[in-house]
Amino acid sequence: MKDLRKIIYISLLTTIALVLSLIESMIPIPVPIPGARLGLSNLVILSTLVVFGFSYSLSVGVLKSLLLVLITGSVTSVFYSLTGSIISIVVMALAYKYLSKYLSLIGVSVLGSVAHNFSQVLVGSLILNNFKLFLYLPLLMIVGLFTGIFVGLSSIYVSKQLKVVLKKELR
């Protein structure tokens, strides 16, 4: 029964991440940098990492990316989204596991944001065969720093609340 409840929570978390991604795509960013986003779905993915572990957060990230492509119809974005999700989740998982003595969830989130931006620029450079896209990376890193801080702060609260709910539910 506990496994079924975990599957239900993962399904719900994937749905929330997907909805946040869709909402985020409709919010205009005041910074005129193409591709810059708030990273609201990363809040769900980081909280899933903290509460359920790496495999569950990876499942949420991959499912969110694949479902987003099916909903939006933007097939080419699957390369960017999927690669960015996987790389950032791996980086956040490693940072959370090995550096949590030194970093809070804010630091873990910032590292994930940096990894996500780097991997997306790398994929874009490989697809377009134009490594001048890396000139764009510093701007994305600055935006990623601020969004990573926001996601990290929010994840601290969300993961604490999710743990409280799970303790009550999984008894």
0.85 exceeded by the pTM? yes
Instruction: Specify the CATH number for the domain of residue 112.
Output: 1.10.1760.20
Q: Which structure tokens are listed for 76?
A: 């080419």
Give me the average pLDDT of each 10-residue run along the chain (171 residues). Answer: 79 93 80 72 94 94 91 82 93 95 94 93 89 86 90 93 80 61
Q: What is the pLDDT of residue 24?
A: 84
Residue-number span of the structural domain to which 73 is assigned: 2-169
3-class state of residue 38 by DSSP: coil
Counted domains in the chain = 1
Residue type, 26: M
What tens digit of pLDDT does each residue of 69-102 get? Answer: 888 877 878 888 899 999 999 999 999 999 989 9
Q: What is the pLDDT of residue 78?
A: 84
Q: Which structure tokens are listed for 158?
A: 């969300």
Q: Shortest CA distance to 150 belongs to which of 53, 50, 41?
A: 41
